[in-house]
Amino acid sequence: MGRLWAVYLRELKSFFVSPLAYVVIGAFSAITGYSFWNQIQDYQVAMLRFYQAQQFYGAQAGDLLEQLNINRMIIQPTFGGMGFFLLLFAPFISIKLIAEEKKSKTIELLITSPIKLYEIILGKYSAVLTVFFVMLALSFVFPFFIILYGAPDMAPIFSAYLGISLLGASFLAWGFFASSITQSPIVAGVISYAGLFAFWLIEWTGRFLGEPWNDIVSYLSIISHWLNMITGLIDTRDIVYYVSFIFMCLFFVYRVLRSQSWRT
């Protein structure tokens, strides 16, 4: 455990002594904050239209009031955009994990050290997860203001954060794997983005297939499980999917590094 902790601290320090973590966290926070502000503006416009309709139509405006749901109009679009922004930013903080070690020729020293491979993998992955959760923690201000000035349903907020956490962790695990198979962070980025977009878009492919293939393809999509969670649905199948995806990626990293250790 001490060696794993040493790898974790070393990797975490490497993120925060360079501008990479600050740029990614700052850019992600700025874009998601702007998206949240837009949703607030749209909600205010909808509320204004409701009050105007109420003056003219009275009780008949009740149908419009039912549509003014804070979770549906603010929470879901905000977290929907957050997931797409993670697709853009997550690879930036994961593609360097192994690729830069190979580029700087320190991977041989790391692999041949007394540290076990699983400790290296878990230490590095835990470090990048920490950066991600710091980035995600800054978004807590969004539901805070909604709770402060509104009356949202808390269950969809919890499920949305669970979904976005699992989605981001999966993105990072895939980027970690992409980083392990090349010594170029740029190539690792291309592989990471290509793979994530393929997992993202596979759901649309299933719409053109018949039963049972459409259900199978939809289950393989990395986005379909997350969409369930931001609507307030927590299904164990969705959690199992993400945990399995993360485990699979880390296992592939282990096999790649294992083969590297045999050649050194």
pLDDT for the residue numbered 110 = 76
Cβ distance 97 to 124 under 8 Å?
A: yes
Give the tokens for residue 212.
Answer: 């049972």
CA distance 125 to 118: 10
Among all chains, which residue has been given the structure tokens 């880390």? 250
Structural domains counted in the chain: 1
pLDDT tens-place string over residues 30-81: 888 888 888 888 777 777 766 666 666 555 555 555 556 677 777 788 888 8
pLDDT tens-place string over residues 208-252: 666 766 667 777 778 878 888 887 788 888 899 999 999 999 999
Least Cα distance to 34 among 142, 137, 164 occurs for 142
pLDDT for the residue numbered 50 = 67
The upper half-sphere exposure of residue 153, i.e. CA atoms within 13 Å in the direction of its Cβ, equals 14
CA distance 115 to 74: 47
Domain that holds residue 127: 2-263
Q: Residue 144: left if φ>0, alpha if ψ -120 to 50, beta else—which one?
A: alpha
Mean pLDDT of 254-264: 73
In the chain, DSSP finds a helix count (H) and a strand count (E) of: 14, 0
CA distance 178 to 55: 59
pLDDT tens-place string over residues 121-135: 999 999 999 999 998
pTM here? 0.87
pLDDT for the residue numbered 85 = 86
